[in-house]
Copies of this chain bind each other. A is one copy, B any other.
Amino acid sequence: MSLLVIGSVALDTIETPFGKVQETLGGSAVYFSCAASYFTDVSLVAVVGEDFPQKHLDILKKREIDTSGLTISPGNTFRWTGEYGFDLNEAKTIDTQLNVFEKFQPALNEKQKTKDFVFLANIDPDLQKSVLHQMQQPKFAASDTMNFWIERKNASLKSLLKNIDTLLINEAEVRQFGQEANIFKAARKILSWGPKSLIVKRGEYGSLTFHEHSIFSAPAYPLEMVFDPTGAGDSFAGGFMGFLAKSGKLNMENIKRAVVFGSVMASFAVETFSLERLANLDENKIFKRYRELHKMVCFEDFTD
């Protein structure tokens, strides 16, 4: 089934303990659509400025991502500058220049409105709601958010939750949003506000998925070298939704598989800067890591 993502396209300047890169291709919609493109057709709705380099567009086109929803507005592209220390779990933002992204008002065309699966990447929850209202009953809608919106637009975020299937947020945000130190209590509270499932991203510790009365725990793929964690969460979301959209089935068994593909795609994203690795994969490489994760967590139940 077809998949739509609304989010950011950015020029990232990043420093990690292992290197530095300037104005490389980044943004939530970019990582998401690239990861999802291995599973299904993806269309992207986002905005860039007139300075956006053609070579970056070419990367997306090579992955056959539908960029017809990428508006080129007068002005400059959104820029983010960040750095990571040896604790790669946390980015330090050095500079943010919203530029054309500040006035981003996503308007869907008729084709985009009829997509079956939609991912609302981390933007203002009022914008996420406006996108959702434009859609004609998507089969599955998921959203991301961040501490900034949990603080500033709490009510708006809660009202969005009534209409989405899955919320993906990180561990600290779950505690903050649910106002509970215990993650399981916090998750239960957030689920009571509407979404059918909640995926808690825990960085190197993997993820916890809460769906109806089930919990699924998945590890991160083991990597001896994490080069740059930027885009891990959006690549996870892309693998997750890409697989779900491909299969179309929304039962727990399939959600589990989708989460594991999320882990796999995130692992490729963090091995290099930008999309260097994520944009150059094939099915064999992806399935290999999926099988390795299977071996890494499954054990026999002999107690019945």
Contacts and interface: CB of A to CB of B under 8 A. Distances in A.
A214 B295 contact: yes
A225 interface: yes
A222 B184 contact: yes
A260 B303 CA distance: 12
A284 to B, nearest CB: 10
B299 A298 contact: yes
A184 B256 contact: no
A251 to B, nearest CB: 11
Assembly stoichiometry (copies): 2
Interface residues of A, number: 41
A290 B297 contact: no
A265 B43 CA distance: 48
Given A224-B184, A303-B290, A297 B216 contact: yes
A43 B295 CA distance: 35
A205 B201 CA distance: 12
A302 B257 contact: yes
A131 interface: no
A206 interface: yes
Contacts of A300: 253, 256-257
Contact of A304 (B86, B217, B223, B291): B291
Interface string A258-295: 00100000000000000000000000000100110011
A294 B299 contact: yes
A181 interface: yes
Given A205-B205, A217-B206, A297 B295 contact: no
A219 B303 CA distance: 19
Given A181-B86, A290-B301, A303-B291, A296 B224 contact: no
Nearest to A295: B214
A54 interface: no
A192 interface: no
A196 interface: no
A183 B185 CA distance: 29
Contact of A216 (B202, B253, B296, B303): B296
A150 interface: no
Most buried by B among A216, A257, A295, A303: A303
A146 interface: no
A39 B253 CA distance: 32
24 contacts: A86-B181, A182-B223, A182-B224, A182-B225, A182-B226, A183-B204, A184-B223, A188-B224, A205-B205, A208-B222, A214-B296, A216-B297, A217-B219, A218-B299, A253-B299, A253-B300, A256-B299, A256-B300, A287-B303, A291-B301, A291-B303, A291-B304, A297-B297, A297-B299
